[in-house]
């Protein structure tokens, strides 16, 4: 089993995706760079899992993400929906062959490229000129753009996810929901999105997905990022339903990601109720069409324990999405570690497992719990020093909202990925060291999961240039944790920190109960109970009583599986 097809639906999901693919692109670049740190040159990561090889109309070989991204019209900023690689040699824009009569041209003001994109574009043009053997004299007149200025331009003004993307996308990848514009509608609840999939749009999305799926010889699964804070939740639910229909046996791993902004801005009681109803419905629908769902996104990421070593601006999607993307990158590690034969030298990596393996492990077992928690240690602590056993587990902090902090759950199941962690200062820990350490950590821990899978790679997370300045003063150039802080007037970004060790974990645990109970209670209160105040709203969203009852039942099943004595799960009658 090899290929994964990635799907990104909705504003914030595409921000996360953009960082995710920047990281992959950085890894690809480093692997081919003779001057790069050797750990990046022998990653033992199989990039074909996420990428496809193709050919442009000019006959040039292309390597692009196996991706379908869905967003509102106008959300692509200065990037063409056809991507950047397969550009047609168009015979000039005012050339119309199909009409003999009058032509009028209406151009909307071109989106200005920011300094970062401008320099990307220049670089590309330059390499083309070199390829064509032309020694451009105008090069001299070219403005030199300093890295500091690029980073700053991003720090000050990212509006679209394309503003910080350095990846070439396939022309089938970027789909804008036709007729739904970024800044006209407020696309902010399930009801608004409920018809967006119908009327040709859904068919277009499915066709694009089929384009990527048809090429796969052994697809291991879909990885689906959805921004479920608004109308995209409905779009994604309909899309997932059609996927479940068409690709019956292929597992879908769903990450429901939210930016902090989507948690705030509730001015009135009514809006709060509205939001609660949305959250309950959104989760019910999405969870019914996938194998594993991972809610990601804290209301106040900046003040969370997960951001202990970071300085994140909550109001910047560019910032928050980077943290989530880095964590999700770590989580995908087991899916693309190369399978090594027993004789092969396996000192760089261990713990490869495919999507269905991870899904089965986390959701199978006795409890069949399909909701997992995402924890991260960013950066991961070194595996030396005093009480080192505890630090790793202690530093792994949740990015999933609404969960219990300290919970003893003997039935818990976990999948941990550790990337590029340090042993003694300046030395990457070997795979066996990491294995031993983690084992020891659990030995000493007060509560232990029933089962834990560990994937290790010596390759750390590379920090691409278009990455937000979110590192705190204790994070060194290689992501090592410093004893004394670096005094600097500005926050630390990609020019100061080049890579960091990462640890991330998917955890199937009863700690997720509050998240589930919350949704169940709200669904009952506003939708199911006699005279429920949200019944009318829900019926305008297309939900009848029967369907709401079913949703309530499946939520209550999820709750009681984790807590057989739960009050919430049993008071349905």
Partner 1 sequence: MLRVLNPNAEVLNKSAALHMNINAAKGLQDVLKTNLGPKGTIKMLVGGAGDIKLTKDGNTLLKEMQIQNPTAIMIARTAVAQDDISGDGTTSTVIFIGELMKQSERYIDEGMHPRVLVDGFEIAKRATLQFLEKFKTPVVMGDEPDKEILKMVARTTLRTKLYEALADQLTDIVTNAVLCIRKPEEAIDLFMVEIMHMRHKFDVDTRLVEGLVLDHGSRHPDMKRRAENCHILTCNVSLEYDKSEINAGFFYSNAEQREAMIAAERRQVDERVQKIIDLKNKVCSGKDNNFVVINQKGIDPPSLDLLARAGIIALRRAKRRNMERLILACGGEAVNSVDDLTPDCLGWAGLVYEHVLGEEKYTFVENVRNPHSCTILIKGPNDHTIAQIKDAVRDGLRAVKNTIEDESVVLGAGAFEVAARQHLINEVKKTVEGRAQLGVVAFADALLVVPKTLAENSGLDKQDVIIALTGEHDRGNVVGLSQHTGEPIDPQMEGIFDNYSVKRQILNSGPVIASQLLLVDEVIRAGRNMRKPT
How far is Cα 321 from Cα 314, in angstroms, rounded to an integer?
Answer: 10
502-508 and 499-500 beta bridge pairing = unpaired
Helix residue ranges, H only, 132-217: 147-156, 190-193, 201-215
- Shortest Å, Cβ 346 to partner 1: 18
Task: Report, in Å, the least distance between residue 488 CB and partner 1.
Answer: 36
CB of 127 to partner 1, least distance (A): 21
**Where on the chain is the footprint of partner 1 (CB under 8 A)?**
1, 54-57, 59, 73-74, 76-82, 88, 90-91, 93-94, 96-111, 178-179, 181, 184, 199, 207, 210, 213-214, 216-219, 246, 248-249, 251, 354, 356-357, 360-361, 364, 451
Angle formed by the axes of helices 545-562 and 269-287, to 10°?
80
Smallest gap from Cβ 286 to partner 1, in A, equals 20
Sign of the torsion angle spanned by Cα atoms 418, 221, 51, 227: negative
To partner 1, the closest distance from the beta carbon of 215 in angstroms equals: 8
DSSP state of 108: P
Which lies closer to partner 1 via its Cβ, residue 215 or residue 550? 215
CA gap 363, 292 in Å, rounded: 7
Q: Which is nearer to partner 1, 423 or 451 (CB)?
A: 451
User: What Å distances lie between residue 271 and 234, 455, 473, CA to CA?
Assistant: 19, 43, 39
CA dihedral 267, 269, 273, 279 (to 10 degrees): 30
Cβ proximity to partner 1, 216 vs 440, nearer residue: 216
The closest of 147, 161, 84, 93 to 116, measured between CA atoms, is 147
Closest to partner 1 by CB, 357 vs 401, is 357
DSSP character for 102? -
Tell me how far, at minimum, the Cβ of 160 lies from partner 1, in Å: 10
Nearer to partner 1, 77 or 420 (CB): 77
Q: What do you get for the CA distance between the two ends of the chain, in Å?
A: 45
- Tell whether the torsion through CA atoms of 11, 12, 16 and 18 is positive or negative: positive
Closest CB to partner 1 among residues 88, 439: 88
The span from the CA of 377 to the CA of 395, in Å, is: 5
Nearer residue to partner 1 within complex by CB, 35 or 99: 99
- Closest to partner 1 by CB, 83 vs 460, is 83
| Nearest CB to partner 1, comparing residues 202 and 299 | 202
The CA distance from 370 to 379, in Å, is 28
CB 14 → partner 1: shortest distance, Å?
Answer: 15
Strand partners, 452: 414
Nearest to 291 by CA among 245, 244, 333: 244
SS3 label, residue 6: strand
Q: Which is nearer to partner 1, 185 or 444 (CB)?
A: 185
> Nearest distance from residue 78's CB to partner 1, in Å?
5
Q: How far is the CB of 527 from partner 1 (least distance, A)?
A: 24
Token digits of residue 564: 């057989």
Nearest distance, CB of residue 356 and partner 1, angstroms: 5
């Amino acid at each position: 089993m090899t290929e994964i097809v990635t799907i990104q639906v909705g504003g914030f999901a595409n921000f996360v995706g953009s960082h995710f693919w920047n990281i992959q692109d950085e890894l690809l670049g480093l692997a081919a760079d003779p001057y790069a740190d050797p750990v990046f040159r022998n990653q033992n990561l199989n990039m074909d899992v996420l990428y496809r090889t193709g050919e442009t109309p000019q006959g040039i070989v292309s390597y692009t993400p196996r991706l379908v991204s869905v967003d509102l019209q106008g959300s692509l900023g200065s990037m063409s929906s056809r991507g950047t690689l397969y550009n047609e040699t168009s015979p000039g824009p005012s050339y119309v062959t199909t009409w003999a009569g009058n032509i009028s041209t209406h151009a909307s003001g071109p989106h200005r490229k920011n300094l970062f994109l401008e320099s990307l574009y220049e670089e590309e043009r330059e390499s083309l000129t070199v390829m064509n053997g032309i020694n451009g004299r105008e090069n001299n007149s070219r403005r030199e753009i300093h890295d500091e200025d690029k980073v700053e331009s991003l720090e000050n003004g990212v509006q679209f996810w394309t503003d910080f993307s350095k990846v070439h996308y396939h022309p089938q990848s970027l789909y804008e929901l036709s007729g739904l514009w970024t800044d006209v509608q407020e696309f902010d609840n399930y009801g608004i999105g409920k018809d967006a999939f119908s009327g040709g749009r859904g068919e277009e999305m499915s066709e694009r997905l089929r384009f990527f799926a048809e090429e796969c010889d052994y697809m291991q699964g879909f990885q689906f990022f959805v921004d479920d804070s608004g109308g995209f939740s409905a779009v994604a639910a309909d899309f997932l339903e059609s996927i479940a229909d068409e690709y019956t046996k292929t597992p879908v791993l769903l990450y429901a990601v939210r930016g902090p902004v989507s948690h705030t801005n509730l001015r009135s009681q009514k809006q709060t109720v509205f939001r609660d109803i949305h959250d309950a419905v959104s989760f019910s629908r999405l969870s019914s069409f996938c194998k594993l769902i991972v809610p990601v996104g804290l209301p106040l990421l900046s003040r969370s324990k997960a951001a202990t070593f970071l300085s994140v601006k909550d109001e910047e999607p560019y910032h928050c999405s980077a943290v989530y993307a880095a964590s999700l990158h770590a989580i995908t590690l087991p899916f693309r570690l190369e399978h090594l034969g027993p004789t092969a030298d396996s000192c760089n990596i261990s713990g490869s497992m495919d999507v269905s393996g991870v899904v089965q492990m986390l959701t199978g077992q006795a409890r069949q719990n399909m909701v997992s928690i995402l924890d991260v240690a960013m950066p991961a602590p070194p595996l030396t020093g005093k009480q080192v056993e505890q630090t790793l587990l202690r530093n792994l902090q949740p990015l999933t909202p609404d969960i219990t902090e300290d919970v003893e759950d003997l039935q818990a199941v976990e999948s941990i990925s550790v990337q590029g962690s340090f042993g003694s200062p300046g030395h990457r820990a070997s795979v066996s060291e990491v294995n031993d350490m983690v084992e020891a950590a659990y030995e000493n821990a007060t509560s232990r999961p029933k089962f834990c899978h560990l994937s290790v790679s010596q390759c750390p997370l590379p920090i691409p240039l278009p990455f937000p300045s979110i590192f705190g003063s204790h994070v060194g150039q290689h992501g090592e944790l410093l004893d004394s802080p670096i005094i600097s007037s500005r926050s630390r970004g990609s020019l100061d920190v080049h890579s960091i060790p990462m640890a991330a974990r998917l955890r199937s645990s009863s700690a997720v109960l509050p998240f589930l109970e919350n949704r169940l209670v709200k669904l009952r209160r506003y939708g199911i109970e006699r005279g429920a105040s949200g019944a009318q709203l829900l019926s305008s969203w297309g939900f009848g009583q029967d369907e709401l009852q079913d949703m309530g039942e499946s939520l209550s099943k999820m709750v009681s599986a984790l807590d057989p004595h739960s009050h919430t799960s049993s008071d349905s009658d």
